[in-house]
């Protein structure tokens, strides 16, 4: 799994012109799922995300987690994170999981984050044409690949 995590002061996702999900302070997360991903990736990434210390403390130092600040999550599925651009100019998405594999993992990831965070999260819609808006606070953007834990 690849996650692009952006610390936001606000973020939203629209589908067909209607807001599907919206948050204030927290993380807007783009999530790419590949065929090799599984339960271990879900658990590890979920814990890592909610405990990632990217929010400022009283001294202005990034020392607080999403849990500590009571922030929210807007999670957006994005298979293009697994694009390969090694050959030619047209990206290949061969590593991205097919919907029959990706959707159940995406749903399990949502449940895992909600459990670790202790509250519901906001999401887009898997496979939909989405319009994502955000105000990146900092800016702070962090990429995590569960295949590169060490």
CATH number at residue 11: 3.50.80.10
- Of 6, 22, 55, 78, which one is the catalytic site residue? 78
Q: What is the pLDDT of residues 21-69, one digit of tens each?
A: 999 999 999 999 999 999 999 999 999 999 999 999 999 999 999 999 9
- Of 6, 22, 55, 79, which one is the catalytic site residue? 79
- Which of 69, 45, 81 is closest to 119 using CA atoms? 69
Rounded CA separation 102/27 (Å): 21
Looking at the predicted structure, is the pLDDT value of residue 150 above 70?
no
**Is residue 85 annotated as a catalytic residue, yes or no?**
no
| Number of domains comprising the chain | 1
Rounded CA separation 50/70 (Å): 10
- Of 6, 22, 55, 80, which one is the catalytic site residue? 80
Domain that holds residue 32: 2-148
E-strand spans in the chain? 2-15, 18-23, 26-32, 55-56, 62-64, 72-77, 122-123, 130-145
- pLDDT band for position 2 (cuts 50, 70, 90): very high
Ordered alpha helix ranges (H), 2-150 = 39-51, 66-69, 99-117
Rounded CA separation 81/32 (Å): 5
pLDDT computed for residue 21 by the predictor: 98
- Which of 32, 122, 38 is closest to 79 using CA atoms? 32
**Is residue 78 annotated as a catalytic residue, yes or no?**
yes
Q: Which two tokens stand for residue 130?
A: 């989405």
**Is residue 22 annotated as a catalytic residue, yes or no?**
no
pTM value is 0.94
Rounded CA separation 97/42 (Å): 14
Strands 72-77 and 122-123: parallel
Q: In b/e form, how buried is each residue of 13-34, taking b as 16+ CB within 10 angstroms?
A: bbeeeeebbebebbbbbbbbbb
């Amino acid at each position: 799994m690849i996650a692009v995590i952006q610390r936001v002061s606000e973020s939203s996702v629209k589908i067909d012109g209607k807001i599907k999900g919206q948050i204030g302070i927290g993380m807007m997360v783009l999530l790419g799922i590949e065929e090799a991903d599984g339960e271990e990736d879900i658990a590890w990434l979920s814990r890592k995300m909610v405990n990632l210390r990217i929010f400022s403390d009283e001294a202005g130092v990034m020392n607080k987690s999403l849990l500590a600040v009571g922030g929210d999550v807007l999670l957006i599925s994005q298979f293009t994170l697994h694009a390969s651009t090694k050959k030619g100019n047209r990206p290949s998405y061969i590593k991205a999981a097919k919907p029959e594999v990706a959707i159940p993992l995406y749903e399990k990831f949502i449940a895992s984050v909600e459990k670790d965070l202790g509250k519901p999260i906001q999401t887009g819609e898997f496979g939909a044409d989405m319009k994502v808006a955000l105000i990146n606070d900092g800016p702070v953007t962090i990429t995590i690949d569960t295949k590169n834990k060490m």
